[in-house]
Structure 1
């Protein structure tokens, strides 16, 4: 970098940081006792930095510093792992906020200002900041860089920030009782020091053989009168939940409040509609459901924080191949069972509890395909599958968004095929099935085809309203004709609990007259909300 923090220097810093964290991963993991002693902080920081470096490598040479900084921030956000990894991604975002808009490489003062902003936004992302952590060390690094900034270039500022961080790292042992009792510095802070040391090395173009990670020292017993910090006492929450979230910015404030009431170690970073959420909770399903209410969670990860404890030790999966289907309706449950699936029932309009779904998957076998059959259940199914995979099972979620897609997937399921091939065929069959349904409007609303009023019949195709009418059969004929306009070989009609007698038969007769080459299957699903479900393969 020399005296210029340009595109090439940022690329080198990011790649070398990922490599240095990879080499120091085990040493940093060994320091990990706060907020939970799960021994993965070094690994999480390494994976986060690696995701950022990969994002930069994907850009062409000469992309320019603005694109480089934004890609660095986004890559880290998408790949952030664990509490410290999420905070590190916010550090990169804070730097990008200040440095990306600059038309020229930053001078020392600009880089110091960027570090101060990074410290502020990282601290703001943590719901209950604790001193003696990566946040404290980042604050000291920013303060040291500011003191050095007057008249100096970014190289001197980077060296000052790294030195300030190292001084602050040594003090973390005395700032948190749990660190003192274990004889360690904070693991996340140690990782941050490595990242800043690499920056200083790039600045000086002098690279050490290794970057120091302080080893564990003799533990310091706490004084009798010292109070036990709430974060270090007891078992703590059972699960770490992380997910990316597509949500408007104004929905995140309420989400923070909900998650804060469910657990601790809450960190929410991001912006502009994309967020990375991290929290420790006992009820992982509730944390995911909160994200589903705020927006669209994806890349969900659920990890047990007490894998060695008897209460939370995962059970070994049962051996064998199976399919698990989720549904709310009794008739649909019977249909899925008849097709060979194990069924998990849910309440209408709600997702099943995460633990229930995960246990059902493990009880089904060690090679399991999961059919969520509802767009609101797909994310939860991914989380349950991730938990089951931790126990050694091979689990795949076929992203079925409707029951008719689940039935199409089951129709091609072959337990004698290799598991991967079977999942591919099921996914292909589900994807080739268009789905629609009828429902009755409960209130006045604006739709894509006009205003609807209470009692109106709505015809929907893949979630979009395409017809409004007064007669169920008339609207059903409209959506059938529209769905078959592009062709189709098999139509599935599933009558609901409140479908009028003869509706399915009348539609079958209509199809016989208008599309005589189409095979029709009629079933009783018993679903409450939708008088009719339609599938076209």
Structure 2
């Protein structure tokens, strides 16, 4: 092995670490008692590293070192699962920050070898600790710090012998193992349970895999300390109050400056808060009782997506317990308008109403999903509702139902999805058909400007009529009918067979007839459906299939 971790080595390490965690995840899961005894730390670490390895494998064969490290860090960030997985993703980012610069440095100044690795691990340790709102000793953070310290000490004496990288990596792995054994004495809940920290055990497996790649010495198995009898000399403490009920995780598109306030809000809602990332993309993890509030905090900071909500205190299922009877398949549509609610109900959906300009409460949507059936498709019908629907679906899945969120961003997409819904198909096939129908439906709408603003097509004044296509302002005018005709022409310029027009409460008299006349004259081959939606804010909604 050379003086740096080259791209080929990073590839081998990522795949070997994923495989090693796949073989040991059950043993690591069995150690999991902190911060929540939910028995999934090994699984979460495996999924996190697997996502990182997959991202690296997708690179072309000639990808450079910097690109390889970036892919590793980004893949882990996007695929991080659980508290320890999020922290490990920050470790990869820290290593990438330093070791990914090797090929960008002038010759002779590259941060490679043992000293470079030790510095990178120290940087990673600092990043990981800084991402945790309330660090606790006796965890993956302590073991990571010990590994970095041992690597630094080893690198100072090993560079002269030419074995700097191998010596530093070996020292990091051995130091982590020693620190792992000490976690039991650092954290009382571990001592009582007779286990080492599960996340730290997973980190040791990852570092052992790195040592194997660097030294070309592969162990027969990766050690995970087994549970012991625990400490019985001291009296058991009083029963603890159960912690927060939900683990909430999401990716967040947000400016870096918004994250400090987000941290403060989430810290006030629960515990186990970890926020990692940067450059506009973050991975957020927190344990809370109010999952909706945690998601709303993300909405206030930016755009949350890939939302996962897991109930932390779910009892283990009794395999001998009788199963509830099959309740069939259902579709739930979210809308704020009475006319649209009627349209969705007539098409066979169950409707969850929301107030105009708001999203429905998470608990209300989750309860509606649970009550609907064993197989439920959810139509959010607004971009702002989409993230909440994903969170509600995750909560409802804890009850054993199969839930799918069809990513409809407009009511006309929801109607298109419902038009192809077939409860006699297999659920997965039905969801695919609904998703395709929604995706094939372009959507537009009109609204009246409430204030002066800069749009993508120029300055608008209060009272101007804005024509929006796929959420972007495409034209500005003074007349609702005139702007609506322009929107229709623009949307049909790329073709279309069916136009859906949904008029709102404040549409001018005769608008529907005027639009039908325009379509008959300009687009005679297009089928037209006109409906009364009763929506307050938008004079007209338009869909083109």
Task: Please state which band the TM-score falls in when normalised by the shorter chain.
Answer: over 0.9
SS in 2 for 1:358: helix
Match of 1:170 in 2: 181
Match of 1:249 in 2: 256
- Counterpart-to-counterpart distance in 1, 2:448 and 2:538: 8
1:308 aligns with 2:319: no
Q: 1:140-198: per-residue Cα shift (whole Å, max 9, x none)?
A: 11111111121420111111112221222122112222112212111101111121222
Conserved? CA contact 1:316–1:362, under 8 Å: no
Give the 3 Å change call, closer, same or farther, for CA 120–356 of structure 1 in structure 2: same
TM-score (normalised: structure 2): 0.92
Give the 3 Å change call, closer, same or farther, for CA 77–139 of structure 1 in structure 2: same
Q: Paired residues, what number?
A: 529
- Report the more deviating stretch, 333-342 or 146-155: 146-155
Conserved? CA contact 1:2–1:205, under 8 Å: no
SS in 1 for 2:473: strand
Q: 1:283-312: per-residue Cα shift (whole Å, max 9, x none)?
A: 2222223223322222222211011189xx
Match of 2:161 in 1: none
1:194 aligns with 2:205: yes
- Counterpart-to-counterpart distance in 2, 1:94 and 1:49: 15
- Counterpart-to-counterpart distance in 1, 2:519 and 2:446: 17
- Counterpart-to-counterpart distance in 1, 2:462 and 2:473: 15
Match of 2:299 in 1: 292
Query: What is the aligned-residue RMSD (CA, Å)?
Result: 2.3
Superposed counterparts of 1:231-270, under 5 Å: 233-270=240-277
1:326 aligns with 2:334: yes
- Counterpart-to-counterpart distance in 1, 2:59 and 2:455: 41
Give the 3 Å change call, closer, same or farther, for CA 293–318 of structure 1 in structure 2: farther
Conserved? CA contact 1:6–1:105, under 8 Å: no
1:57 aligns with 2:57: yes
Match of 2:385 in 1: 377
Match of 1:68 in 2: 68
Conserved? CA contact 2:82–2:285, under 8 Å: yes
Give the 3 Å change call, closer, same or farther, for CA 5–460 of structure 1 in structure 2: closer
- Counterpart-to-counterpart distance in 2, 1:72 and 1:117: 16
Q: 1:481-523: per-residue Cα shift (whole Å, max 9, x none)?
A: 2222333333222222222333223322333333333333222
- Counterpart-to-counterpart distance in 1, 2:527 and 2:210: 66
Q: CA deviation at 1:87?
A: 0.5
Structure 1 outlier segments of 4+, above 6 Å: none
Give the 3 Å change call, closer, same or farther, for CA 151–356 of structure 1 in structure 2: same
- Structure 1: give runs of 5+ residues left out of the alignment: none
- Structure 2: give runs of 5+ residues left out of the alignment: 104-109, 159-163, 318-322
Q: CA deviation at 1:526?
A: 1.6
Conserved? CA contact 2:101–2:111, under 8 Å: no
Q: 1:229-248: per-residue Cα shift (whole Å, max 9, x none)?
A: xxx93211111111222222
- Counterpart-to-counterpart distance in 2, 1:517 and 1:49: 53
SS in 2 for 1:168: helix
- Counterpart-to-counterpart distance in 2, 1:101 and 1:53: 20
Give the 3 Å change call, closer, same or farther, for CA 318–528 of structure 1 in structure 2: farther
SS in 2 for 1:299: strand
SS in 2 for 1:150: helix
- Counterpart-to-counterpart distance in 2, 1:222 and 1:132: 21
Match of 2:112 in 1: 106
Q: CA deviation at 1:105?
A: 7.3
SS in 2 for 1:439: strand
Conserved? CA contact 1:112–1:149, under 8 Å: yes
- Counterpart-to-counterpart distance in 2, 1:317 and 1:376: 34
Q: CA deviation at 1:458?
A: 1.1
Of residues 223, 243, 248, the one that matches 1:212 is 223
Superposed counterparts of 1:437-456, under 5 Å: 437-456=445-464
Match of 2:147 in 1: 141
Of residues 433, 436, 443, the one that matches 2:444 is 436
Give the 3 Å change call, closer, same or farther, for CA 5–431 of structure 1 in structure 2: closer
Of residues 385, 391, 396, the one that matches 1:388 is 396
TM-score (normalised: structure 1): 0.93
- Counterpart-to-counterpart distance in 1, 2:233 and 2:102: 49
- Counterpart-to-counterpart distance in 2, 1:322 and 1:280: 31
Match of 2:320 in 1: none
Conserved? CA contact 1:316–1:392, under 8 Å: no
Q: CA deviation at 1:342?
A: 0.6
